Amino acid sequence: MGLHSLTASLLGLVVVASSAVVDPKILDACPGYELDNVETHGSMLLADLKLRGKACNLFGPDIEKLQLNVTYETTSRLHIKVTDSSSARYEVPDSVLPRPAGDGHILPQQSEIQFKYTSSPFSFSIHRASNSDVLFSTGSHPLIFEPQYLRIKTDLPANANLYGLGEHTDNFRLPTHNYTRTLWSRDAYGVPNGTNLYGNHPVYFEHRTTGTHGVFLVNSNGMDVKIDDATPGRTTLEYNVIGGVLDFYFLAGSEDDPTVLARQYAQIVGTPAEVPYWSLGLHQCRFGYQNYIDVAGVITNYSLANIPLETMWTDIDYMYKRRIFTLDPDYFPLSRMQEIIEYLHAHDQRYVLMTDPAVAYLPDQGYGPYDRGTAMDIWLKAANGSFSLGAVWPGVTVFPDWFNPDTQGYWSNEFAMFYDSQTGLDIDGAWIDMNEPSSFCSYPCTDPFEQAVQQDLPPARTSSPPNPTAPIFANSPKSSMSLHKRVNHQGENLEFPPYEINNAAGSLSNKTSDADAVHANGLVEYDVHNLYGTMMSTATHNAMLARRPGLRTLVITRSTFAGAGRRVGKWLGDNFSDWEHYRNSISGILNMASIFHVPMIGADICGYAEDTTETLCARWAMLGAFYPFMRNHNADTSISQEFYRWPTVAQAAINALNIRYRLMDYFYTTFHTASTDGTPVLNPLWYNYPQDPDTFAIDLQFFFGPSILVSPVTEENATSVSLYLPKDTFYDFNTLAPIQGTGSIVDLDNVNLTSIPVHIRSGVVLPLRASGAMTTTQLRKTDFEIVVAPNKDGEASGSLYMDDSVSISQNATTEVSMAYSKNTLDVHGSFDYPTGVKISRVRFLDVSKAPRGVQLDGRVLDKNAITYNAWGKVLDVALEIPFRGNFSVRIG
């Protein structure tokens, strides 16, 4: 949530700085380095790199001697690191991104990828051992290593299929013509295409029909990654980094299964956090609920509209003068807010509040969060040792320094006091925003006090407070950090480095913390700026754990770095209510969930800024039902857009939520698998069909989990959709009728404004819940039906995971495997966690004719339990058996 509600004239945006433009011929004419003193020790190669000619000194003096370290860490992971031999340089701290240890016994000849080099001039390449594919090659592009500029460039195949390098709103498959991907966190209102946004994930996957591999640069400094096809017959990818070291992981991936690569990347950045079951329900929020009556009214209206609402959210409106850890006593009095939370909890619903990082600078004014933080000396410091100040919603602010070892204790204490279950607000999850960190102060922010006055911060309320005794619910229930080597930046320009990245906000410090701000361990924002959001996320996750020990947390953040998904989820920021943002939200969730391992991801449904329309909101409600994180949220300057506002949108939401709730345990199982081994929660089509080139660029369709194909309408006023069906069998989710894909476009007509095309990929057994529940708590009490969707060989498989849905450590789980072959469904597993429900029926798809009979565990079922639909080729077998043990069903 940026400074969107103030007038554009006060935004103070600057012209986008152009990245340094240097003729590639000049760069390629630099002397590079030569390899010397090569030593090999089992899985490791060590060597010196010495400048081999007259220095280029393009953006500073070339460093004359470097250290090269190559380590075969596993059979699929190669670690290559280039550092300055004579001076300590900044590296991403292990406290922020813990690294896995290598095996220590992998010999080069055992590896799936091989490191090869040329000594003078030094260059290297990475080859796939099985087929000699060159995956990365610096070739004729010399390495450049200067104090504030690192450059390394590789040649790739023409029209390379590249994915990742986020956060961005561009196509999922990255452009390869004159394209620059900039990484530097900023408050990116409107999330414009082609610019740097909130988060930073310097990893890319490259897919070829011969295999899929990955490259991860562990560097949090600002950078431009340039991709171009100017040279005929090849694509080049060039890193231009303004600090740190070159710290690369090369991942072999797989020749036939792209999800193998995703699992390998998870071994570095961590597998995603388990999510509470309830977090997969519908969330509702907006910036602009004027008072507690507004909030209560929304809860009531969702119920009256029969739309399942799981979690109510409130933006910064609840705060007193926009100050975190406060309540406005006139508009959001504590007793009435507690009443709302009690009502929600009594109805098996939840509540989430916003918490920003910026703390109002209010010395000697009795503002506890500021006073306690000042006493602990945990604020980020300016270069001169004073507090680093910004201008944010509450006015002039300070920022917590997440590297300070006392900041976690401060943050946890503030959460414990304000969100106390008895005396405060008993929230169920946390929402953290503005954590790039965002500031409304334009560079140079020499007078944040004047900036706050000019921008009317904090904004005055425009409505009168409500009657504090106004009834809201008819029957409201009553309640019975680590050290790091100091890096010497003396003489370096941290605000305007010699190479200027293509930061859309202009200078590095514009609208954020100053690049020369200093952390408690001596690190400067110039190096760690891109880590701020993830470090706040970790601190908030820990604070929520301290509030509710043993329970999984739901923390939704805006700014992320590699590894953030180990603890938190994310939303895609301040999008617009238009079809472009509707469409590019799909590539956004695919990037986060299928590559970056932040699977609890969603976009603001119906759009955040500007006014939505009934048609757009209806379509978005249905698309949003297949975001892992499903939340309707919009701005205070936009019209209200809760789903019940329009009959069409309400019906669209009900229909889509019905599908989502039926699939909820499939979703939950998919999340559990991701947390176990890194298997993606969402999949682009090419993950499932890696040999089909027609799938490589598709980013308007996607799979939730391995088997649910979602193909939303993506054009305004359209009632048809053209979807691509690979050469495979699919089943319509609603009718269960089979459709044979031929590797071509299929036109579906009569897709009305309350429906979305969803298909089941063949070869899967799906556990579905019965419909009709209004909360996930009710849903878990409904029976299962099992859908068997066989492939061309007449086989299918699936799984189901169940637990208590909220605990980090489980005393009992139910883990079930379901396999169909030779006309027999076999369901077996461990049933230690009681499901408490029945299997109501099994639905066998693509059955060519009615069977002579059906057996349950060898016992012939009564014919009244069997129904056959010849048109849809669906065989229904009623079971009504307790779901607490193994069973088999045979047809024939």
Residue linked to tokens 């004359």: 64
Packing angle between helix 532-547 and helix 407-418, nearest 10 degrees? 50
Beta strands in 524-573 (DSSP E): 555-557, 569-571
List of residues 6+ apart from 60 with CB closer than 8 A: 146, 147, 148, 149, 492, 498
Tokens of 208: 């070829």
List of residues 6+ apart from 789 with CB closer than 8 A: 707, 731, 760, 761, 762, 763, 764, 765, 766, 796, 845, 846
Report d(CA 179, CA 426) in Å as an integer: 47
List of residues 6+ apart from 567 with CB closer than 8 A: 273, 537, 538, 541, 553, 555
Report d(CA 558, CA 552) in Å as an integer: 19
Count the residues in the chain. Answer: 892
Give, as one character, the DSSP assignment of residue 246: E
- C-beta of residue 228 within 8 angstroms of C-beta of residue 235: yes
Report d(CA 469, CA 740) in Å as an integer: 62
Q: End-to-end CA distance of the chain: give it in Å, rounded.
A: 59
> Residue 382: is it exposed, middle or buried by C-beta count within 10 angstroms (0-12/13-18/19+)?
middle
List of residues 6+ apart from 54 with CB closer than 8 A: 31
Tokens of 192: 């414009």
Q: Which residues pair with 814 in a beta bridge?
A: 802, 831
Give, as one character, the DSSP assignment of residue 576: B
Q: Which residues are catalytic?
A: 433, 436, 574
Report d(CA 157, CA 544) in Å as an integer: 47
Closest CA to 589 of 603, 578, 576: 603
**What string of H, E and C letters represents the secondary structure of 735-754?**
CCCEEECCCEEEEECCCCCC
- C-beta of residue 49 within 8 angstroms of C-beta of residue 86: no
Report d(CA 742, CA 343) in Å as an integer: 52
**What residue type is assigned to position 541 of the chain?**
H
C-alpha radius of gyration, the chain, whole number? 28
CA distances from 68 to 45, 124, 126, 245 (A): 8, 11, 15, 11
- Run of H or E including 587: helix 579-590
Q: Is 532 helix (H, G, I), strand (E, B) or coil?
A: helix
